[in-house]
């Protein structure tokens, strides 16, 4: 830990080890967070279990947990080696404590706690989705800050939600999927089309060769609330595939992939526009209350939309969301595709932010399969 003027953790450069084992990626990273300026990824090591789960068309929890147990220690050591760090160079250990598959969460959290205890370091129990939310900081230009409050779209295999990011650690839910998460729907539709797991990248590749010629639904289109629904889209794609008494032709598979992806992107963008209106009204009301209480000038809304999570790596979806953002006068931001999917760097950064701001230690925080991200 290097001092930058002394006087508490917030004035120091922090190095934190981040551990991510919430699903089917075993990941560890070392991130350096300066008191001022852009955080740096010193190492970001990931071992993907995709091959192990491919025969099943999705993640098998027991296989995932056992794989984390086998590989995590080696991944952590590799992260330290690549970063040129020793354990004594660390200021804290962060691990995903939820939400996710409970077996994997237990492996990562217990390993992180044991390591922190042995090294007499703070342990930070991190919400997986907050890790995704923080990862945009790696993509900002030098000197550019992530202002609050801003609009956040969290889009992954297990979660699809729109939130107002009020401040670090404080989020207000604006809308979420009422059934399947969008990433899960991509995986299931990919299986229908005979594509390998993970389904999102496979559909995106196949869709580039097709035309969006099939008609598919856009659930909740035009409704005022911020919720989403994707199971109907998945079912409609399945019915189209089952109409044929013989296997789909290559052209039909390409066109169905393109149609599904376009419908998903347009539906998501329309639902985001509805949630954005709720975000603007909620922030305006909160600022009016603050002004009445404190008699201070009104704080301006941060006109930034952040998309994060594995689905945000899809370039067609990014383009649709960016179009909505620009039309409403917002800057659209998303991490590089490699940092949209699960990784240790996002957990390390979230841990470093928590350590710098709050200095909190969560050694006794339990792993949680379900964990709401809210204010």
The predicted structure's pLDDT at residue 300: 61
The predicted structure's pLDDT at residue 373: 82
Residue 136 confidence (pLDDT) above 80: yes
The predicted structure's pLDDT at residue 360: 66
- Tokens at 295, concatenated: 């008699």
pLDDT tens, residue by residue, 107-120 = 999 999 999 999 99
Rounded distance between C-alpha atoms, residue 371 and residue 318, angstroms? 27
CA distances (Å), 247 to each of 199, 239, 242, in order?
A: 19, 13, 9
In 3-state terms, what secondary structure has residue 270?
Answer: helix
Number of helices followed by number of strands (H, E) in the chain: 11, 11
According to CATH, the topology of domain 2-139+342-358 is Nucleotidyltransferase; domain 5 (3.30.420)
Q: What CATH number belongs to 150-334? A: 3.30.420.40
The predicted structure's pLDDT at residue 37: 86
Alpha helices in the chain (DSSP H): 50-53, 61-83, 102-119, 128-134, 182-192, 199-207, 231-243, 250-294, 315-327, 337-340, 344-358
Are the C-beta atoms of 198 and 56 separated by less than 8 Å?
no
- Tokens at 190, concatenated: 């990919």
Mean pLDDT in residue range 260-289:
93
In this structure, the number of other CB atoms found within 10 A of the CB of residue 99 comes to 21
Rounded distance between C-alpha atoms, residue 97 and residue 366, angstroms? 7
- Tokens at 111, concatenated: 């390993």
- List the chain domain ranges: 2-139+342-358, 150-334
Query: Rounded to two decimals, what is the model's pTM?
Result: 0.90
Rounded distance between C-alpha atoms, residue 126 and residue 117, angstroms? 17
Are the C-beta atoms of 21 and 342 separated by less than 8 Å?
no
Which residues neighbour 65 within 8 Å (Cβ) at sequence distance 6 or greater? 101, 103, 104, 106, 107
Are the C-beta atoms of 98 and 126 separated by less than 8 Å?
no
Rounded distance between C-alpha atoms, residue 304 and residue 151, angstroms? 6
Work out the angle between the directed axes of helices 250-294 and 182-192 (0-180°, nearest 10).
180
pLDDT tens, residue by residue, 17-45 = 999 999 999 999 999 999 888 999 999 99
CA distances (Å), 91 to each of 61, 149, 361, in order?
A: 32, 29, 12
Q: What's the burial of 61, exposed, middle or buried (CB within 10 Å: 0-12/13-18/19+)?
A: middle
Residue 306 confidence (pLDDT) above 90: yes
Which residues neighbour 144 within 8 Å (Cβ) at sequence distance 6 or greater? none
pLDDT tens, residue by residue, 70-101 = 999 999 999 999 999 999 999 999 999 999 99
Q: Same CATH topology for 2-139+342-358 and 150-334?
A: yes
Mean pLDDT in residue range 139-147:
83
Mean pLDDT in residue range 183-189:
94
Residue 7 confidence (pLDDT) above 80: no
In this structure, the number of other CB atoms found within 10 A of the CB of residue 311 comes to 28
Mean pLDDT in residue range 335-346:
94
């Amino acid at each position: 830990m290097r001092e930058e003027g002394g006087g508490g953790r917030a004035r120091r450069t922090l190095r934190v080890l981040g551990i991510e084992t919430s699903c089917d990626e075993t990941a560890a990273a070392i991130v350096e967070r300066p008191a001022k300026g852009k955080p740096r990824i010193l190492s970001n090591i990931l071992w993907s279990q995709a091959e192990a789960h491919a025969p099943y068309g999705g993640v098998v929890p027991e296989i995932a947990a056992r794989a984390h147990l086998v590989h995590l220690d080696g991944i952590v050591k590799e992260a330290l080696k690549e970063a040129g760090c020793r354990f004594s160079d660390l200021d804290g250990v962060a691990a995903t404590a939820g939400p996710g598959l409970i077996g994997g969460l237990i492996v990562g959290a217990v390993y992180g706690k044991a390591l922190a205890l042995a090294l007499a370091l703070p342990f930070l129990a991190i919400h997986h989705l907050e890790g995704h939310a923080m990862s945009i900081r790696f993509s900002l230009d030098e000197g550019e800050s992530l202002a609050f409050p801003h609009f956040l779209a969290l889009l992954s295999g297990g979660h699809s939600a729109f939130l107002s990011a009020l401040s670090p650690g404080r989020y207000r839910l604006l809308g979420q999927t009422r059934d399947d998460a969008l990433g899960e729907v991509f995986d299931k539709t990919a299986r229908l089309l005979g594509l390998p797991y993970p389904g999102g990248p496979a559909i995106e590749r196949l869709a580039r060769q097709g035309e969006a010629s099939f008609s598919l639904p856009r659930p909740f289109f035009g409704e005022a609330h911020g919720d989403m629904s994707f199971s109907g889209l998945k079912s409609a794609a399945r019915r189209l595939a089952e109409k044929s008494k013989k296997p789909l032709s290559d052209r039909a598979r390409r066109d169905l992939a393109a149609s599904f992806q376009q419908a998903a992107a347009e539906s998501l963008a329309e639902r985001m526009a509805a949630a954005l209106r709720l975000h603007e009204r909620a922030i305006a009301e909160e600022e009016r209350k603050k002004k009445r209480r404190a008699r201070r000038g009104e704080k301006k809304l941060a006109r930034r939309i952040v998309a994060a999570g594995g689905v945000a790596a899809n370039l067609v979806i990014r383009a649709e969301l960016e179009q909505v953002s620009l039309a409403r006068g917002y800057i659209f931001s998303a991490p590089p595709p490699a940092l949209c999917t699960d990784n240790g760097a996002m957990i390390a950064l979230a841990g470093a932010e928590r350590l710098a701001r709050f200095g909190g230690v969560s050694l006794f925080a339990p792993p949680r399969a379900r964990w709401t991200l809210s204010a």
